[in-house]
Amino acid sequence: MTTEHMIVEIAKKARRASRQIAAAETREKNQALLRIAEMLDASEADITAANQKDLEFAKEKGLTSAMMDRLKISRPVLDAMIKGLEEVAALPDPVGETARDWVRPNGLKISKIRIPLGVIAMIYESRPNVTVDAAALCFKSGNCALLRGGSEAFHSNMILADIIGAALDASGFNRNIVQVVPTRDREAVTSLLKQEEWIDLVIPRGGEPLIRFVVQNSTIPVLKHYKGVCHVYVDKTFDMNQAVDICMNSKTQRPGVCNAMETLLVHEQAAGEFLPVIMTELQNKNVEIRGCEKTRALFPHVKKAETKDWHEEYLDFILAVRIVDSMEQAMDHIEEYGSNHTDVIVTNDDKRAETFVKNVFSSMVGVNASTRFNDGGELGLGAEIGISTSKLHAFGPMGLEELTTTKFVVKGSGQIRT
Amino acid sequence: MTTEHMIVEIAKKARRASRQIAAAETREKNQALLRIAEMLDASEADITAANQKDLEFAKEKGLTSAMMDRLKISRPVLDAMIKGLEEVAALPDPVGETARDWVRPNGLKISKIRIPLGVIAMIYESRPNVTVDAAALCFKSGNCALLRGGSEAFHSNMILADIIGAALDASGFNRNIVQVVPTRDREAVTSLLKQEEWIDLVIPRGGEPLIRFVVQNSTIPVLKHYKGVCHVYVDKTFDMNQAVDICMNSKTQRPGVCNAMETLLVHEQAAGEFLPVIMTELQNKNVEIRGCEKTRALFPHVKKAETKDWHEEYLDFILAVRIVDSMEQAMDHIEEYGSNHTDVIVTNDDKRAETFVKNVFSSMVGVNASTRFNDGGELGLGAEIGISTSKLHAFGPMGLEELTTTKFVVKGSGQIRT
């Protein structure tokens, strides 16, 4: 069987299984999720053995220790998977909800009812815990999952799929509801991206090259974000404590994630008071600064920011700083260099905050709050399968509801169109 | 300037203009729409002259009289464009609406605020009225429109774009908010579909080959439907008048549109009573029947339905008829041969209606109502720019709201993440 043929077969199997999971009761789904959790717990030895194969192979290939670390399923990582399953089981089920309803003048009762998307393919790198997290979120929202992790996590993902499959089976579900692509062959990804007849959505997660590859090659709708170039803009009137807390939290609490601040914009009337304070704090945390000309006029020791710095997602203890002469210039900067991800204003002026909120079109626009809140859990969506900066379907964190759509249900008593 | 270079330029111009229209007040937008209507009315002579060029060219190319008819901007067609603009001006503006809001335990005030998508490209065939309708819907929902109509309507579309541009200009808007691609070059479409940096959504409207071409070549999200293979299923207990009215309306009121019935499914316990009545009615309207074996056992003169008939979107006075032995078989048939567009059950049994509604995943699922109600106007959305059978973003008719997305607005008082 060729790789392409195999991919068509697993995609068709997923499509056929999708009716069962779409119609399943919430209670049945939750029981199955908890059973997966139990069976993962009971299978630690098997998981560790499979994971060991991946780790040995990775060592031979010369992966960095950071990459090895992401690949390893230690007991705390397994516990986090189990806890994730329990949390998803506890979340409300969006399927079957009435999103809206109304009655037409001719008596037709219209409602928009929430239904699953159908079959969701995830393409991701390294971390095998994504396999379990993604399976849980797709399953709870009534969807089939086709999972393709990084080739270096192949054995880990296959054993996780086996355990999930056995738990589904034991719970009366078709095991094709969650499938891991059973090959390392790279051609499998290209084939998967062409199965628009059987797959409703592709979610890539990983570095920008992976995501660009998926967008270039997919005929299936894709939800993705390339990068998070997030800004904090400190306005001319501001609260010093708030501004310092927000900037430090946005930059240094976890610099390696997409909702960390990458560029700080400061109104020129605020610069004299604010910059000396924040510079000291940032230096205490060993944050490297790259500044605009005006910043360097105040702080001559600061490295010069080049144009490419304004585009950069450092994901590190590095920060670009620019002094702007107006809020309009700050908004222009965000429009030109931003990535529609997360942008925040710190201001004491409600009216100016409103203008900023109205004119910045990012998935999260914040007022006097850290950029780090752009996260499914923090915003109250429960869990998230990723953050979208595509404006179609979902813009921002994607929780269970974002893995569903709505259909129109029309109830009549013989109405016809005239 | 190469075609590709020209396309990049107009896409960038649209992106730059998108901030103005996104932030515009409803009143300003409505005034501009009404001004476009006035200026179209005043420009009848110019429009007719440009349209005449297209008609002459079409005649030389040997277009059918039906195609010539669709191309012609007669006075009633111009009046319909003007009326359409007035109707869109009268619709509520979705932009700026709070779709939902809540407060987090840490005091953060979260809201989901409706915003425009940004830049929308429409690719369509023949009818020049789509140029005006699409421009109006995109404009009212705060989006820029990049319009590419059929090459045979080139001069008509260019004059319409000129008039719209002049009206925008006179209303204080940037004329790049609505642009018609100023070339007949087919390469322009391929280039347009690669401008994902500047264009947020592509909506193709036309025959299946056009839509498949767009899906295969676009790196921009696409909303589309390939075809409407719509079913009416008459259950074992039913109201004869309702069943006849619904079937006749679904099949014959306007057979050339996507929400017309293409296949009638009848429960075997209903067939003996229902089929003789509906067959007579259908024959009176000259509808050709293609029946399954069981149907032909009752009506030997009926043509045999081949497998391909169950897949067919006839768009004509032709109907495929199948007798099923259960509602489950009807739902399996819809799953296998349907197109997720519109499917209706006629039944007296509310419980069975619920089962049908739960298990059929089409953009509109109807109970005792005509398939013809799957339409933006009929469902109460106001106007529509098309019907989507992609489940992502919009599933079913797309009105103004479906041309928007939501962003998260987070208002705090210095909250940081711990």
Nearest CA among A384, A353, A346 for reference residue A248: A346
Confidence (pLDDT) at B1: 80
- Say if A20 is an interface residue toward chain B (CB within 8 Å): no
* Whole-model pTM over 0.90: yes
Q: How confident is the model at residue A405 (pLDDT cuts 50, 70, 90)?
A: very high
- Tell me the shortest Cα–Cα distance from A254 to chain B, in angstroms: 10
Distance of alpha carbon A237 from alpha carbon A270, whole angstroms: 7
Is pLDDT at A374 greater than 90 in this prediction? yes
- Tell me the shortest Cα–Cα distance from A63 to chain B, in angstroms: 32
What is the percentage of chain A residues whose pLDDT exceeds 90?
94
Q: How confident is the model at residue A225 (pLDDT cuts 50, 70, 90)?
A: confident
Among A22, A102, A110, the residue with its CB nearest the CB of B361 is A22
Packed helices B44-61 and B26-42: angle between N→C axes, nearest 10 degrees: 70
Among A219, A357, A367, the residue with its CB nearest the CB of B215 is A219
- Tell me the shortest Cα–Cα distance from B240 to chain A, in angstroms: 10
Is pLDDT at B65 greater than 90 in this prediction? no
Mean pLDDT for chain B?
A: 96
Chain B hits for A113, CB-CB cut-off 8 Å, are 357
Confidence (pLDDT) at B292: 98
- Tell me the shortest Cα–Cα distance from B61 to chain A, in angstroms: 34
CB contact under 8 A, A200 and B392: yes
- Tell me the shortest Cα–Cα distance from B40 to chain A, in angstroms: 30
Chain A hits for B382, CB-CB cut-off 8 Å, are none
Which chain B residue lies closest to A413 (C-alpha atoms)? B368
Q: Which residue shows structure tokens 């007040």?
A: B25
What is the percentage of chain B residues whose pLDDT exceeds 90?
94
Confidence (pLDDT) at A75: 96
Q: C-alpha angle B24/B28/B34, rounded to 5°?
A: 135
Is pLDDT at A127 greater than 90 in this prediction? no
Which chain A residue lies closest to B96 (C-alpha atoms)? A358
Strand partners, B102: B110
Chain B hits for A370, CB-CB cut-off 8 Å, are 415-417
Q: How confident is the model at residue A207 (pLDDT cuts 50, 70, 90)?
A: confident
Tell me, what DSSP letter sits at residue B305? P
- Tell me the shortest Cα–Cα distance from A50 to chain B, in angstroms: 35
Task: For CA atoms A355, A360, A361, A366, give the dihedral sign.
Answer: negative
Among B239, B378, B411, the residue with its CB nearest the CB of A417 is B378
CB contact under 8 A, A249 and B392: no
Confidence (pLDDT) at A383: 85
- Say if A379 is an interface residue toward chain B (CB within 8 Å): yes
- Would you list the DSSP string of A4-65? HHHHHHHHHHHHHHHHHHHH--HHHHHHHHHHHHHHHHHTHHHHHHHHHHHHHHHHHHT--H
Confidence (pLDDT) at A266: 98
Confidence (pLDDT) at A65: 86
Confidence (pLDDT) at A223: 93
Packed helices A129-140 and A26-42: angle between N→C axes, nearest 10 degrees: 160
- Say if B224 is an interface residue toward chain A (CB within 8 Å): no
Chain B hits for A372, CB-CB cut-off 8 Å, are 416-417
- Say if B193 is an interface residue toward chain A (CB within 8 Å): no
Among B362, B372, B392, the residue with its CB nearest the CB of A417 is B372
Distance of alpha carbon B311 from alpha carbon B320, whole angstroms: 10
Close Cβ partners of B71 (under 8 Å, ≥ 6 residues apart): B51, B54, B55, B58, B63, B126, B127, B128, B152, B153, B156
- Say if A391 is an interface residue toward chain B (CB within 8 Å): yes
Beta-carbon count within 10 A of B160 CB: 29
Q: What would the pLDDT profile of B262-309 be if each residue is shown by its tens digit? A: 999 999 999 999 999 999 999 999 999 999 999 999 999 999 999 999
What is the percentage of chain A residues whose pLDDT exceeds 70?
100
Q: What would the pLDDT profile of B374-394 be if each residue is shown by its tens digit? A: 999 999 998 899 999 989 999
Q: How confident is the model at residue A131 (pLDDT cuts 50, 70, 90)?
A: very high
Which chain B residue lies closest to A108 (C-alpha atoms)? B369
Confidence (pLDDT) at B207: 87
Q: Which of A212, A213, A391 to mutate to test the interface with B (most CBs of B within 10 A)?
A: A391
Chain A hits for B361, CB-CB cut-off 8 Å, are 22, 115, 118, 407
Q: How confident is the model at residue A302 (pLDDT cuts 50, 70, 90)?
A: very high
Confidence (pLDDT) at A213: 95
- Say if B26 is an interface residue toward chain A (CB within 8 Å): no
- Say if A368 is an interface residue toward chain B (CB within 8 Å): yes
Confidence (pLDDT) at A140: 98
Chain A hits for B374, CB-CB cut-off 8 Å, are 408, 410
Q: How confident is the model at residue B116 (pLDDT cuts 50, 70, 90)?
A: very high
- Say if B368 is an interface residue toward chain A (CB within 8 Å): yes
Determine contact, residues B193/B218, Cβ cutoff 8 Å: yes
Determine contact, residues B387/B374, Cβ cutoff 8 Å: yes
Query: Which phi-psi region, left, alpha or beta, contains residue B316 (left: φ > 0; alpha: ψ -120 to 50)?
Result: beta
Q: What would the pLDDT profile of A14-47 be if each residue is shown by its tens digit? A: 999 999 999 999 999 999 999 999 999 999 999 9
- Say if B311 is an interface residue toward chain A (CB within 8 Å): no
Is pLDDT at A315 greater than 80 in this prediction? yes
- Say if A249 is an interface residue toward chain B (CB within 8 Å): yes
Chain A hits for B253, CB-CB cut-off 8 Å, are 416-417
Cβ under 8 Å to B: A residues 128-167:
none
Q: What would the pLDDT profile of B19-50 be if each residue is shown by its tens digit? A: 999 999 999 999 999 999 999 999 999 999 99
- Say if A216 is an interface residue toward chain B (CB within 8 Å): yes
The stretches of A218-338 forming alpha helices (DSSP H) are: 240-252, 268-284, 293-298, 307-311, 327-337
Nearest CA among A167, A159, A117 for reference residue A138: A117
Chain B hits for A359, CB-CB cut-off 8 Å, are 19, 23
Chain A hits for B239, CB-CB cut-off 8 Å, are 414
- Tell me the shortest Cα–Cα distance from A335 to chain B, in angstroms: 9
Tell me, what DSSP letter sits at residue A134? H
Chain A hits for B413, CB-CB cut-off 8 Å, are 242, 368
- Say if A411 is an interface residue toward chain B (CB within 8 Å): yes
Confidence (pLDDT) at B127: 86
CB contact under 8 A, A249 and B201: no
Average pLDDT over residues A333-338: 96
Average pLDDT over residues A200-210: 93
Confidence (pLDDT) at B365: 98
Average pLDDT over residues B169-185: 96
Among A335, A366, A412, the residue with its CB nearest the CB of B412 is A366
Determine contact, residues A311/A227, Cβ cutoff 8 Å: no
Is pLDDT at B125 greater than 90 in this prediction? no
Q: How confident is the model at residue B66 (pLDDT cuts 50, 70, 90)?
A: confident
| Cα–Cα separations (whole angstroms), residue B368 to A252, B345, B361 | 60, 6, 17
Confidence (pLDDT) at A66: 83
Q: Which of A211, A392, A413 to mutate to test the interface with B (most CBs of B within 10 A)?
A: A392
- Say if B22 is an interface residue toward chain A (CB within 8 Å): yes
Cβ under 8 Å to A: B residues 110-129:
110, 113, 115, 117-118
Q: What would the pLDDT profile of B179-214 be if each residue is shown by its tens digit? A: 999 999 989 999 999 999 999 999 999 888 999 999
A&B contacts, CB < 8 Å? 206
- Say if B104 is an interface residue toward chain A (CB within 8 Å): yes
Chain B hits for A117, CB-CB cut-off 8 Å, are 391-392
